[in-house]
Structures are given as structure tokens and as C-alpha cells.
Amino acid sequence: MYVCLCRGITDTQIRKAVQAGKTEFRQLKQSLEVGAQCGKCVRMTMEIIAAELDKVELEQAPLYYEVA
């Protein structure tokens, strides 16, 4: 789905950038130029960043607890 119509940026491009280490909006703005025009895509971009970071956090969480 297109997130930024001004620059033609999709949610997939944003997700891949976050997975590659660009975890802050300003980094995405510099690399993809998302939010550089009208700004209507900023909220959706922030939501995608948060969702991707949550997903990474869940994937890295252990599936067990250590017993003391």
C-alpha cells in the first residue's frame, strides 16, 4: 500500500528500511524522503515503525523463563 503519495513510497519500503536499521523517522526522511512534502504520511510512517519494532522485539524475546 502507498503510504506517501507525494514520493510514491510504500509500506514495504518503510518496513524494509526499518529492518535494515533505520528505526527513527528522521533516518527514513533522509533515506526515503518520506514526509518531505505535505506531511500527511508522517503518522502512518510512525505507526509502521512502531509495529516493526514491536515485531522485532517479540521475535527476539525468549520463549522460556530461567529458574533461579
In order along its 68 residues, the chain shows pLDDT tens digits of: 999 999 999 999 999 999 999 999 999 999 999 999 999 999 999 999 999 999 877 777 676 777 76
pLDDT for 4 equals 96
Q: How far apart, in Å, are the Cα atoms of 3 and each of 8, 35, 49, 64, 67? A: 8, 10, 12, 37, 45
Which of 14, 16, 40 is CA-nearest to residue 28? 14
Tell me the domains of the chain and their CATH numbers.
2-60 (1.10.10.1100)
Contact yes or no for 36/7 (Cβ under 8 A): yes
Residue 46 CB: number of other CB atoms within 10 A?
Answer: 13
